[in-house]
Amino acid sequence: MGDTTDPSNPLAHHTVRIAKALARAFSAAWSEGSEAGMVAALKGMAAPDYKWRGSYPYGEIEGVDAVCASLYRPLRAMMASLVRHEFLAIAGFNDADEAHSVWSCSLGHFTGPFTAPWLGLRPTGKLVRLRYAEFHRVADGKIAESALFFDLADFLQQVGLDPFPDQLGARHIFPPPRRGLSGLGSDSAARGRDTMALLNRMIADLDLLNKSGEDTCPPEFLERTWRADMAWYGPAGIGSMMSIPLYQEQHQFPFRQGLTNKQYLGHVARIAEGDFAAFFGWPNLSNSPRGGYLGLPASDVRGEMRIVDVYRRQGDRLAENWVIIDFPYYFKAFGIDLLANAVATQAAS
């Protein structure tokens, strides 16, 4: 039958489609399925040694029972009638481990009224959107491990507890792809290889900037891999913007000038399907603040950034980028607990 771990083999595409369907069923079981049957349903799809990673304050958890108790049940309970608005779902062989594993990625919002306490925060009764990116590794017909990232700082902004009042980019803009899912189709495998090649060129360019110490590269450098009208949908603290000039003014230059000792640490998963790609690291990057960026004091401590990036390619350039950075985790390295500060502020009001 051939080697189904070879992405160029037609059978590999079938393997990826099966993995994608299982990942979607697993995600639906916890977010949309019966509360009473959630644990049983997830155990039926999970490997015996199932492992989970998640944004601060969760970290790493082992086993379906523990994940349901710690996260899935409280998250479902905090939003009455939680709705999962999925923008896109892709799957592919992992470029970060030379195609030895298969991962999926789902991107979107969890939406609903904030009606029950969560993470010590008092409910507001108002509609909220918790942006998320969820990854699953599928092996031997089971979900072997998962990673769920969400933008907790953006959630705090929505409930009136903004940790980043001086954010440069626009708040709360995290839309679906401009061209929908038109980049997924019968030729997804071949297109995905082209998308991954472009993504890796862009990553190499960023690593070159890190090594050179160049913090204000000309726009032409970015235009090697990005469209001039690119859209960058960033996390709370940075925000969203369109066009290379605004991206550089509102994110790239402040980020690069405000942080030092930058080191690229790689990815756990990096996949592409059609015109879309996604990756996450645990962590992706380490650095130290020079002082002032996001209100951080200067420090010699190296903080770790756990980052998700999802991309859409258009032609031979990247056109859109959705980004989640676990800033609450990063800030803890410098003795600042964004969540605890928000809970204390709310309690005092």
d(CA 15, CA 347): 50
Higher per-residue confidence, 36 vs 247: 247
Query: Which of 49, 79, 45 is closest to 66 using CA atoms?
Result: 49
The reported pLDDT for the residue numbered 186 is: 75
The whole-model pTM stands at 0.95
The reported pLDDT for the residue numbered 2 is: 47
Strands 46-54 vs 142-150: parallel, antiparallel or unpaired = parallel
State the DSSP string of 143-180: EEEEEEEE-HHHHHHHTT--S-TT--SBSS--PPPTTT
Query: Which of 120, 294, 278, 266 is closest to 196 using CA atoms?
Result: 278
Cis ω for the linkage preceding 57 (within 30 of 0): yes
Q: Is the pLDDT of residue 1 over 50?
A: no
Are the C-beta atoms of residues 322 and 315 closer than 8 Å to each other? no
Q: Identify the sign of the CA torsion 189, 272, 263, 211.
A: positive
The reported pLDDT for the residue numbered 306 is: 98
Per the rule left: phi > 0, alpha: psi between -120 and 50, beta: everything else, 292 is left
How would you class 80 by CB atoms within 10 Å of its CB: exposed for 0-12, middle for 13-18, buried for 19 or more?
A: middle
Query: Which of 110, 94, 112 is closest to 102 using CA atoms?
Result: 94
Residue 78's pLDDT band (cuts 50, 70, 90): very high
Question: Which amino acid is it at 260?
Answer: T
Residues 300-337: tens digit of each pLDDT:
999 999 999 999 999 999 999 999 999 999 999 999 99
Query: Which of these ranges, 3-7, 282-286, 333-337, has the smallest mean pLDDT?
Result: 3-7
